[in-house]
């Protein structure tokens, strides 16, 4: 979960790059996109995410959720029930961003290249 991105220097034209870097930094975690994918479909509980994202550890899941929340991409709702219940939902901003990101698959489709094997009809 990369946090800091001061965009320390680069050149003048780098302002744009800097912004892009910042945006990508907000979903930089290995599982961030997976979490967004799940939470975009509707409210999801912690344990659900833990199962959906097969292989993620509790710690990383927590950190990822916190990061996304900090960046205004996730809404955390706590139900003060006796066994705790917490739901996470993607914000509108997150949905927009996620849409733009999945839009990259269009690019990937047009250039299936460089892939280890690929398919190619």
Partner DNA sequence: CAGGATCCGCCACGATACTG
Partner DNA sequence: CAGTATCGTGGCGGATCCTG
Examine residue 93 and tell whether it contacts DNA (CB under 7 A): no
Examine residue 57 and tell whether it contacts DNA (CB under 7 A): yes
Examine residue 108 and tell whether it contacts its own copies (CB under 8 A): yes
Helices and strands in the chain, H and E counts: 6, 3
- Residue 96 has a CB neighbour count (10 Å cut-off) of 11
Examine residue 38 and tell whether it contacts its own copies (CB under 8 A): yes
| 88 touches 43 (CB < 8 A) | yes
Among 17, 47, 108, 115, binds DNA (CB under 7 A): 47
Among 3, 59, 111, 117, binds its own copies (CB under 8 A): 111
Which residues bind to DNA, rule: CB under 7 A? Answer: 1-3, 28-31, 45-48, 50, 55-60, 62-66, 76, 78, 83-87
């Amino acid at each position: 979960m990369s946090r800091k991105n001061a965009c320390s220097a680069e050149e003048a034209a780098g302002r744009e790059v800097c912004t892009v870097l910042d945006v990508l930094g907000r979903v930089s975690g290995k599982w961030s996109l997976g979490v967004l994918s799940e939470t975009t479909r509707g409210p999801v509980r912690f344990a659900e995410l833990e199962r959906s994202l097969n292989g993620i550890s509790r710690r990383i899941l927590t950190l990822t959720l916190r990061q996304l929340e900090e960046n205004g991409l996730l809404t955390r709702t706590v139900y003060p029930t006796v066994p705790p219940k917490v739901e996470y939902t993607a914000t509108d901003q997150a949905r927009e961003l996620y849409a733009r990101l999945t839009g990259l698959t269009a690019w990937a489709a047009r250039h299936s290249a460089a892939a280890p094997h690929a398919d190619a009809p």
